[in-house]
Amino acid sequence: MFILLQRNRRRLLQIGRWIVFIMILANSGCNRKNPVQPEPIGPIDWSRVNGPFVTNKPMAAIATTSNRDFWIRGQFLGFLKHEQNEKPWQYIMQKELGTPSPVHISILKHPSGDLYTGSSQGVFRLRNGSTSWENVNSGFTYPLTHIDSKGMIYSGSGLDGIYRSIDNGNSWESIGLKHPYYYIFSFVVSSSGEFFAGDLTWYGLFRSSDTGRTWNFINRGIPTNQIGMLPEVHKLAINSKSHVFAVTTRGLYVSRDNGNNWSGLLYPASSIFITSDDRIFVGSNNKLYRSIDDGASWTVLALPTIRAFFQDELGELWGISGQKYLFHSVDGEQWSQAEVTAPADIRILAKNPQGPMLAVSSGDGVFLSATNSDTGWSKLPHDFAQKNINVAAFSPAGDLFVATEDNLFRSKDNGKTWSPLGAFSGYFARVYSLAINQKGYLFVGTYSQGVFRSTDDGGTWTPLKESPEVSTQLRSGTMIIDAEGNLYIGHHGGSVIKSSDDGNRWLQISNNIPPQASIWSLAVNSKGRVFAGTQSGAQIFRSLAREPEKTPWKKVFSGLAGITILDIAIDEEDHIYFCTNEGPASVYRSTDLGETWTKSNEGLSEKVNTLFIDAKGALYAGTAQGLFKGARD
């Protein structure tokens, strides 16, 4: 018995030791540290910079809310908005808003005070007192034409005829004129319920007396051309007497008998508006006509052609010309005007080390900000608006260089005065790339005359020669200089070349980029790694070492065919950013040398043309709708 107890005790002790050993191992495993995972990088929050602005955006429609906020829409994305008692116009963009119809752009006011507009993304409504447009119907993408006194909304949809909504745009029904040859965009309703529509081809005018079930031609009195074609009908308007006015390519016509007969009033005519008390305003050939007697007589007002009108709840009149000006009148006789500004289309960004930021707008010229600021923009006096600016940059001394289609210009006083350098005139010598090193040496790449260097601030130029090590012709391409003064040029055929002695000798460094990949953008990080973006296929290649010519390059991004890497920027932490031409909001970011990428477009919905990081590390995006600044985690 004693011996049995002793054996059981030994077994229990052995089992206990094993349990303790297993617990120690388990506890040791629990305390072992897992590999550290990188913390996720937060999004870039983009916000619009106040400027630069231009005054040449084509405007087409205007409306005001009950609190007298002004909304303008035209052939640009979004809206221009002006709040009462605030001086500058705001640019309002919602990603889902879409683009307006190129044929008919409108903002219509509902009897409830709500505003309506149509776009490629559907019907949108701005509720009375709200500041944000909401999507009412995403499936109905036709422009809106008319809202009657009962609040019914009508749409002239081109080949698909006329549509009507009786529930504030939520649902739509066809009410006729769908025809392969009709192109209907103008429409009005009389007080007695008669429908009138105008065709934008050569079929003239139509009327329906049974809410759209049947339609009849009503063109008596409107002349045809030699082959029997009626004029295009661009706009219809109707007064309180149900007299119908039609703006056509042959002038303004009126029918005072329900459309049975028409007579001519004015030629030419491009727009019409009838006020609540039946005053008629017609834009015609850079003039504004007014009639207070149903078109029997006309007074010419000293104003240009007004494209669109609006009468607010106080009875005051507002109008917009095709570009630049907003007009206002209390009584319809005396008018005042004010400029309407819109964000510039920013294609190039640069920064003066001692002062302002530079922004180049497509077709609008060059703008400079206030010193050490991204606000307070002013347009430079030189008429660059008539030139296609290919490149612009500041020298270390603060001189500004701008290359247009036919010359290279220099300014030593922040753009107040300019000197043409004149060394590169002619089509085949257009300057397409420009780089300036810390010595102040200028390097330019021309269309087909090669690459030139100036060591005397642009006074004289020396053509640079190829080196035996370089198989490609030395010509224009994307050009950058890194912090150590190395000069890089990206070419067609997948070629990136490098010079470490101011262009005297060149070295081919892209030893395995495919020859079909044309290099469009270049950037170098703090470790000397080169990133090259291509023109098609949206590819990015990265060199693997400080001496890229000695090691293969790695493809770190590949996108869709036909897409171009427009620009690459690298910040002080070696985070990489690039933008493409694939569409609105196309900025990508990598924090691991391009191994992984994330889209970083929070607050950004415009097409991005260029990226820029200033000396303080601030990130900017030049877009088709202005300048944006990115806040990063």
Would residue 46 count as lying in a domain? no
- Rounded CA-CA distance 603/629 in Å is 10
Domain span including residue 544: 465-607
pLDDT at 385 over 60: no
% pLDDT > 70, the chain: 87
pLDDT at 67 over 90: no
- Rounded CA-CA distance 119/104 in Å is 10
Would residue 312 count as lying in a domain? no
Q: What is the pLDDT of residue 9?
A: 41
The band of 177, judged by pLDDT with boundaries at 50, 70 and 90, is very high
- Rounded CA-CA distance 491/535 in Å is 10
Instruction: Give the helix, strand, coil percentages of the chain, each rounded to 5.
Output: 5, 40, 55
Before 52, cis peptide (omega within 30)?
yes
pLDDT at 93 over 80: no
CA dihedral (382, 386, 390, 391) in degrees, to 10, reads: 10
pLDDT at 558 over 60: yes
Average pLDDT over residues 243-254: 97
Higher model confidence: residue 372 or residue 293? 293
DSSP string of 215-243, one letter each residue: -EE--TTPPP-TTSPPPPEEEEEE-TT--
Average pLDDT over residues 193-206: 96
Q: What is the pLDDT of residue 219?
A: 97
Average pLDDT over residues 580-588: 83
Give the count of domains, the chain.
Answer: 1
Would residue 473 count as lying in a domain? yes
Q: What is the pLDDT of residue 187?
A: 96
- Rounded CA-CA distance 326/334 in Å is 14
Would residue 566 count as lying in a domain? yes
Would residue 507 count as lying in a domain? yes
> 20-56 pLDDT, tens per residue?
333 433 343 333 332 333 445 667 899 988 888 887 7
Q: What is the pLDDT of residue 21?
A: 38
> 589-625 pLDDT, tens per residue?
999 999 999 998 888 877 899 999 988 889 999 998 7
Out of 13-17, 365-369, 421-425, 586-590, which region has the weakest mean confidence (pLDDT)?
13-17
Would residue 590 count as lying in a domain? yes
pLDDT at 430 over 80: no
pLDDT at 279 over 80: yes
Would residue 383 count as lying in a domain? no
Would residue 570 count as lying in a domain? yes
CB 536 within 8 A of CB 561: yes
DSSP string of 491-549, one letter each residue: -GGG-EEEESSTTSS-EE--SSS-TT--EEEEEE-TT--EEEEESSS--EEE-SSSSGG
The band of 91, judged by pLDDT with boundaries at 50, 70 and 90, is low
- Rounded CA-CA distance 161/136 in Å is 21
pLDDT at 405 over 80: no
Q: What is the pLDDT of residue 2?
A: 34
Q: What is the pLDDT of residue 569?
A: 96
The band of 77, judged by pLDDT with boundaries at 50, 70 and 90, is low
State pTM to two decimals.
0.68
Higher model confidence: residue 493 or residue 202? 202
Out of 148-162, 502-516, 561-575, which region has the weakest mean confidence (pLDDT)?
502-516
The band of 95, judged by pLDDT with boundaries at 50, 70 and 90, is low
CATH number, domain of 514, equals 2.120.10.30
Out of 60-74, 159-173, 322-336, 412-426, which region has the weakest mean confidence (pLDDT)?
412-426
- For residue 434, report the phi and psi dihedrals to the nearest 5 degrees: -150, 135
